[in-house]
Amino acid sequence: MILLTLDQLFTAMILLGLLMLVGKWLRVRVALFGRLFLPSAILGGLLGLLLGPQGVGWLVSLIAGSEALLAQGIFPQSTLDIWSGLPGLLISVVFAGLFLGKIIPGPRAIWRRAGPMVAHGQTLAWGQYVIGLSLTIFVLTPFFGVSPLAGALIEIGFEGGHGTAAGLAETFRSLGFEKGADVALGLATVGVVAGVVLGTILVNWGVRTGRLSMAAAMEIDTERFSDHDERELAPRFSRTRSIDPLSIHLGFFALAIAIGWLMLQGLIWIESVTWNTDGNGLALMKHIPLFPLAMVGGVLVQVALMRLGHAESLDRRLVNRISGAALDVLIVSALATLSLSAVGTHIWTFVILALAGIAWGLFGFLVLAPRMFPEDWFPMGLANFGQGIGMTVIGLLLVRMADPENKSGAMESFGYKQLLFEPIVGGGLFTAASLPLILHFGPGPLLIFCFALMTGWLTFGLWEFRKAKKRSAEEI
């Protein structure tokens, strides 16, 4: 166990803050980074990686030997130890705030607005498991000796993103595939870049071919889209002077996380007295991280506030600021401590999964989206494409590029979709449970399960929403 002092923690946070500032400066000053829409946190994290033992440290060791000054990089080892532990904690803060301060409509209203996007998004998400597990069974494990857990890497890295990949690091470690988290982080970085580059190409292609009637003619900053035109609540606690609004909002975050923790402990207890009393049964709950249940805790807190007539108690904009700050710190610290040697060890796994994941995303957009969306398939499908390979923020960016005036309503549909999407996949409960499920049942049975769900959502989407498309055409 590593013992760290408060001074070391203070130093680590100061250095991390400086990396974020330099990342923002690079984002503004280097035109290429702006054109790629790379968030400042990613730039700051990559800079930390270059200045650490795997960048500057490796170069100095190569030239002057392992005992030379800066042979371990410019950061103290205590700082790296603290940074490596932050993602697993902060991911719970990010997920706890997903639904705090939001008006949560009834399931019928959500489905009416977001049904096609949910069906399409679920098809893409379960398809990532199908692709990943198939490649693992038939290629990666027999030819490269990779752990079967690699079957979940596409969904964790692409759909889940940096936060989910970093948050599952301890789960990977406890299940014997410690380097899997680093490969997932590498996939998340590739997914962000590929999502922006390919998305921009697709938008321009849509304009040239008439599939898009209008597109933004100016550059858009991804960092403005952490909150996507949601209906804002009038914050009661922002008007009080008895306590600072930030403090009370942090209290609600803590309440959501505490509820999630109690739920997790309850599930672990139920598992211990039912199917795993002797320790030889399915050990699932102890491998599930806290963050998906922190999200459920946030939903419960928000629903309780609405039922008690206090829906206006939280300021969604302030919630987004807290979540955004936690996510920035998480990304910088995770990327700065990314193990390049782990990615190098599994380079073919990394390349194969990255190419397969991108190909599946393009297929889902170019082939499935026109058939699953009754109308406005291009901006609707582009939102899911962006989220599917580069996290939610890339989906927001691309839909803004494709439909800057929101004439299609894709932005609202995309927001409502998350209520029926993120609790399960994209960092939700199944994303967290997929790793122990693969280990316990094997990749084969899980492949059959995921294939059935993918086929079910695909069939339902093609059948149900094609009828809606036909009815819409007849009315015209």
DSSP summary character for residue 420: G
pLDDT value of residue 231: 44
Looking at the predicted structure, is the pLDDT value of residue 328 above 90? Answer: no
pLDDT band at 220 (very low <50, low <70, confident <90, very high): very low
pLDDT value of residue 130: 97
* Dihedral angle of Cα 272, 278, 283, 286, to the nearest 10 degrees: 50
- For the segment 415-441, the average pLDDT, to the nearest whole number, is 84
Q: Where would I find the beta strands (DSSP E) of 182-252? A: none
Mean pLDDT across the chain: 83
Q: For the chain, give the percent of residues with pLDDT over 70.
A: 87
Ramachandran category for residue 227: left, alpha or beta (phi over 0 → left; psi -120 to 50 → alpha): beta
State the CB neighbour count (10 A cutoff) for residue 142. Answer: 10
How far out from the chain centre does Cα 434 lie? 15
- For the segment 193-221, the average pLDDT, to the nearest whole number, is 71
Residue 205 CB partners (closer than 8 Å, separation 6+): 211
pLDDT band at 336 (very low <50, low <70, confident <90, very high): confident
* Long-range Cβ contacts of 279-285 (<8 Å, 24+ apart): 282/436, 282/440, 283/436, 283/440, 284/433, 284/436, 284/437, 284/440
pLDDT value of residue 400: 73
Give the whole-angstrom CA distance, residue 63 versus residue 293. Answer: 48
pLDDT value of residue 287: 66
State the CB neighbour count (10 A cutoff) for residue 327. Answer: 24
245-273 vs 77-96: helix crossing angle, rounded to 10: 90
Q: Is 425 helix (H, G, I), strand (E, B) or coil?
A: coil
Closest CA to 124 of 452, 357, 444, 354: 357
Mean pLDDT lowest for which of 238-247, 262-271, 306-315, 398-407?
238-247
Q: Is the pTM of this model over 0.85?
A: no
Closest CA to 121 of 436, 354, 448, 413: 413
pLDDT value of residue 90: 85
Residue 474 CB partners (closer than 8 Å, separation 6+): none
Length, in residues, of the chain: 476
Give the whole-angstrom CA distance, residue 285 versus residue 267. Answer: 6
Closest CA to 229 of 426, 413, 422: 413
Mean pLDDT lowest for which of 150-164, 375-389, 411-425, 459-473?
459-473
Mean pLDDT lowest for which of 77-91, 129-143, 230-244, 355-369?
230-244
Sign of CA dihedral 334, 336, 337, 341: positive
Q: Is 65 helix (H, G, I), strand (E, B) or coil?
A: coil
Instruction: Name residue, tokens 């809606």.
Output: 468
Amino acid in position 30: V
* Long-range Cβ contacts of 276-284 (<8 Å, 24+ apart): 282/436, 282/440, 283/436, 283/440, 284/433, 284/436, 284/437, 284/440
Looking at the predicted structure, is the pLDDT value of residue 122 above 60? Answer: yes
Alpha carbon of 319 to those of 16, 251, 368: distances in Å? Answer: 22, 11, 35
Give the whole-angstrom CA distance, residue 294 versus residue 429. Answer: 11
pLDDT band at 438 (very low <50, low <70, confident <90, very high): very high
Give the whole-angstrom CA distance, residue 140 versus residue 346. Answer: 10
> Could you tell me the two tokens for 348?
């073919």
Residue 442 CB partners (closer than 8 Å, separation 6+): 148
